[in-house]
Amino acid sequence: MMRDDSMEQWRKQCRRQLQRDTLTRLKYGFVRTYKPILDDAKYRVYSSTAQYRAWCRTHLPAYLGYGEG
């Protein structure tokens, strides 16, 4: 649970962010993170969802969250 002063600081920060224009919010609203293997090719094409899922199972580390179940 947040302390009262922490919650008030958070609210002030939210109010400041809402005063920004849309382009500025978009600029700072996303963080680009390198994802190993996924970001190493410009694009990939699969004939079916099953083929895509099989590729994910065999090539991607579990921590990326592309596994099944």
Domain boundaries, the chain: 1-30, 32-69
Task: Report d(CA 56, CA 37) in Å as an integer.
Answer: 10
pLDDT of 29: 84
As a whole number of angstroms, the longest Cα–Cα distance in the chain is 54
- Per the model's pLDDT, the better-predicted residue between 51 and 17 turns out to be 51
* CB contact at 8 A, 29 and 17: no
Q: pTM for this structure? A: 0.52
Greater confidence (69 vs 33) lies with: 33
pLDDT value at position 48? 97
pLDDT at 45: 96
